Amino acid sequence: MSDSMIPAYDRTNVFARILRGELPCKKVYEDDFALAFHDIAPLAPIHVLVIPKGDYISQADFGAKAPPEMMVGFWRAVSKVARDLGLDTEGYRIVANHGPNGGQLVFHFHVHIFGGRTMSHAMGSMPSPDNAG
Ligand code: AMP
């Protein structure tokens, strides 16, 4: 897939607006690197999104452009959020959709944390409230 299939970072995207406090969210955690909040349409009993505090379109953009302290801070935040949600023992799934084939809808890099139920080992689709996917 060429880079031209990924739109440029749009500062009006919904997660950028949540970061700026222009839209509400059900906040779970915040630090210098990341903000975590409940997904508006949960696909599991626990479905939390973790987003970096920076203009990163996707996993590819984050991986290419984020400075090391941001990468470490962001991924530590993902781990902390899952731990604080009580998911470490029973387990959880993390997902980051990138681009059209990945099903990305919001073009501000984010990691989904799914927990609270058993999920199938089939990984070709997002978890669904109707099955154990
Ligand atoms: P995706 O870009 O496909 O990885 O998923 C975007 C996710 O953002 C979806 O799971 C949506 O339900 C979620 N979402 C969209 N708008 C909001 C919002 N205002 N607050 C919380 N979650 C949202």
User: In terms of Cα–Cα distance, which of 35, 4, 33 is closest to 17?
Assistant: 35
What pLDDT does 4 receive? Answer: 55
3-117 CATH pick, 2.40.30.10, 3.40.50.720, 3.40.50.2000, 3.30.428.10: 3.30.428.10
Domain extent listing, the chain: 3-117
Place of tokens 């607006």: 17
Residue 82 phi, psi (nearest 5): -60, -45
pLDDT in tens, 34-55: 999 999 999 999 999 999 999 9
Pocket test for ligand 1, best of 106, 109, 111 (most atoms within 8 A of CB): 106
Place of tokens 């700026």: 20
What pLDDT does 8 receive? Answer: 85
Beta bridge partners of 113: 48, 94
Answer yes or no: is the C-beta of 129 below 6 A from any ligand 1 atom: no
Ligand 1, atom nearest to 43 Cα: 10
Q: What is the distance between the alpha carbons of residues 22 and 12, in angstroms, rounded to a whole number?
A: 10
Low-confidence ranges of the chain (pLDDT < 50): 1-2
71 CA distance to ligand 1 middle (Å): 22
Residue type for position 28: V
Task: Concatenate the DSSP letters of all residues of 106-118 into one string.
Answer: S-S--EEEEESS-
What pLDDT does 98 receive? Answer: 93
